[in-house]
Amino acid sequence: MSAASARRSISSAAVAAAKLSMPRDPARASATPSRIGIAIHRDAAGRIGQRADVASGAAMRHRGGTMRRLVNAWALLLLLIVSPRGGSIARAASLEHPTKRQLDEVAHLIGKHYFRKIAHDSLEAAALECLAGTLDRYSNYIPPREAREVQASLEGSVGGIGVSLALDTTAAVVRVVHVFKGSTAARAGLRPGDTLIAVEDRPVRGRAFDQVLDQIRGKPGTHVRLTIHHADDPTAVTLTLERFAVELPTVHGLRAAASEEGQWLIDPRSRVAFVRIENFSRRTPQEFDRALEAIRRVGARALVLDLRDDPGGLLESAVEVADRLLDSGAIVIIHERGKRDEVERADRAVSSRLPMAVLVNGFTASAAEVLGACLQDRRRAIVVGSRSYGKGAVQNLFHLRRTPGLLKLTIALYQRPSGQPMETHIPGVGSPNGGVWPDSGYSVALSPQRERDWRESSMRAAGGFGFTAEEPDTSALFDPVLERAVQGLRPTP
């Protein structure tokens, strides 16, 4: 990895943040734990205790657009306000290129005349979102609470107790779906299927889900009090747990199993190994190294690398993973304003020469596409599945001096090693051929229902939603994309 790539790592001044650029599928959001260790399942208002639906996810996804429309509406109101005292129209200077004085005037008039009170922080956040959000679909202002989640995800750790939670929309309760081994939650006896009743003696029912998450998270070394019902005992139990730095794994095997073979091999006969990268954090290259060691120990003859639903993350982490799979040559070409093109190249001893297949879908984006594209262009792997999202833009996160939020700005575009563009969505630079496409003969399209079934079965096999088994029945995991990849890796008779 080059020195320039290393400079794009997280720092107090700016951190790479390609991960957050891609819109989320509301159906997927209702079934997949977030990388902060808590599954986001909620209704349109974010409250617990009401049935969530698909529309709620769509409403959340367009929150930034709503804020921009609100700011634009404020500007329009300045030109249309009728003063009840004199009937005159309050005129404002042109807002095409607003100055600080003009923005202050807008805020003052809203504060004085709007029919209901608006918090100054809300106005400030809306103005910041308007300024950044009109640039492209990836640039935006990230409010403080979301900023903490972003940084925790990219760092690969968060202060918590070591559980994943989800809202059971049928019963309208919060349940424990996964407990990290060796965590304070595990030592306290929390188990998948337990129900969360209260945090710090405050009931969770009817509260915003984000508020519950914020109460459970906190600085390592501090304590939080939870009231729960165990799955096999309706009696309420109150536990005090110490928060610690929870490492969020980003690299997984096929299933939760006691044996390495059961975890990493698709089946013992073919000896085809399976590795999934969920997103790219600072820890991902080291986790990938451990996965490669494990599949070597079990005698793998080929490797399926699953990048489906991987929204990206740190670009340099994706480059480092690619560096472990390529002998030499270009990994990605980066175009930054006012600078010569920068080419990231493989420059270390290759860690694995196993035949490979890479799985992608419409939610494979950003750094994950960088990895998939370079392996395809270098003919290091066959690509199986459906066309990826097509995000060929690099973002940095900038810490703002006067607000705890973050500014996410697109600073560069990138191309595949072949020179083909990756970006699809930014007007004027997007290409209809962007993204990563399956190789000829390896396109496998799933219906929305089949895709949901695949996500749920994969999560169950990995130990999510309280499902655990020594060796889950692989027939329950039938995955046409994975099956096609295994067929492509089998030697020709």
Q: Give pLDDT tens digits along the chain (493 positions).
A: 444 443 333 222 223 222 233 333 333 333 333 332 222 223 333 333 322 222 222 222 333 343 333 333 333 222 233 333 333 333 434 445 567 788 888 888 988 999 998 887 888 888 888 888 889 999 999 988 788 778 877 877 778 998 888 766 666 778 887 788 788 999 999 988 899 999 999 998 888 777 887 889 888 899 999 999 998 888 999 999 999 988 888 999 988 766 889 899 998 888 999 999 999 999 999 999 999 999 999 999 999 999 999 999 999 999 999 999 999 999 999 999 999 999 999 988 888 899 999 999 999 999 999 999 999 999 999 999 999 999 999 999 999 887 788 999 999 999 999 999 999 999 999 899 999 999 999 999 999 888 888 887 777 666 543 333 333 444 445 799 999 999 999 875 5
Helix (H, G, I), strand (E, B) or coil at 335: strand
User: What whole-number distance in Å separates Cα of residue 365 and Cα of residue 166?
Assistant: 25
Instruction: Give the pLDDT confidence score for residue 493 in this predicted structure.
Output: 52
Instruction: Give the pLDDT confidence score for residue 356 in this predicted structure.
Output: 97
User: What whole-number distance in Å separates Cα of residue 327 and Cα of residue 445?
Assistant: 32
User: What whole-number distance in Å separates Cα of residue 230 and Cα of residue 214?
Assistant: 23
Instruction: Give the pLDDT confidence score for residue 12 in this predicted structure.
Output: 24
Q: What is the 3-state secondary structure (H, E, C) of 23-48?
A: CCCHHHHCCCECCCCCECCCCCCCEC
Instruction: Give the pLDDT confidence score for residue 185 in this predicted structure.
Output: 92
Q: How many other C-beta atoms lie within 10 A of the C-beta of residue 271? A: 16
Contacts by residues 198-206 (CB-CB < 8 Å, ≥ 24 positions apart)? 198/226, 198/227, 199/224, 199/225, 199/226, 199/227, 200/224, 200/225, 201/225, 201/227, 204/48, 204/174, 205/48, 205/49, 205/172, 205/173, 206/47, 206/48, 206/49
Please give the structure tokens belonging to residue 115.
């029919």
Instruction: Give the pLDDT confidence score for residue 148 in this predicted structure.
Output: 79
The closest alpha carbon to 461, from 276, 250, 234, belongs to 276
User: What whole-number distance in Å separates Cα of residue 121 and Cα of residue 144?
Assistant: 11
Q: Which CATH superfamily is domain 251-489 in?
A: 2-enoyl-CoA Hydratase; Chain A, domain 1 (3.90.226.10)
DSSP E strand boundaries for 173-243: 173-179, 195-199, 202-203, 223-230, 233-242
Instruction: Give the pLDDT confidence score for residue 337 in this predicted structure.
Output: 92
User: What whole-number distance in Å separates Cα of residue 42 and Cα of residue 74?
Assistant: 30
Instruction: Give the pLDDT confidence score for residue 462 in this predicted structure.
Output: 62
According to DSSP, residue 439 is labeled P
DSSP E strand boundaries for 312-354: 330-336, 342-345
User: What whole-number distance in Å separates Cα of residue 365 and Cα of residue 384?
Assistant: 15
Contact in structure between 292 and 323 (CB atoms under 8 Å): no
Could you say which architecture CATH assigns to the domain 25-52+146-247? Roll (2.30)
Q: Are domains 25-52+146-247 and 251-489 of this chain identical in fold?
A: no
Q: What's the gap between Cα 385 and its chain centre? A: 20
Please report, for the chain, the start and end positions of each structural domain, with discontinuous segments joined by +: 25-52+146-247, 63-142, 251-489
Instruction: Give the pLDDT confidence score for residue 456 in this predicted structure.
Output: 75
According to DSSP, residue 477 is labeled G
Contact in structure between 411 and 395 (CB atoms under 8 Å): yes
The closest alpha carbon to 73, from 127, 143, 135, belongs to 127
User: What whole-number distance in Å separates Cα of residue 143 and Cα of residue 128?
Assistant: 10
Tens of pLDDT, residue by residue over 130-154, are 888 889 999 999 988 788 778 877 8
The closest alpha carbon to 158, from 170, 148, 144, 168, belongs to 148
Q: Which residues of 103-130 are buried (b: 16+ CB within 10 A; e: fewer)?
A: bebbbebbeeeeeeeeeeeebbbbbbbb
According to DSSP, residue 363 is labeled T
Burial class (CB in 10 A: 0-12, 13-18, 19+), 248: buried
Instruction: Tell me the residue type at 190.
Output: L
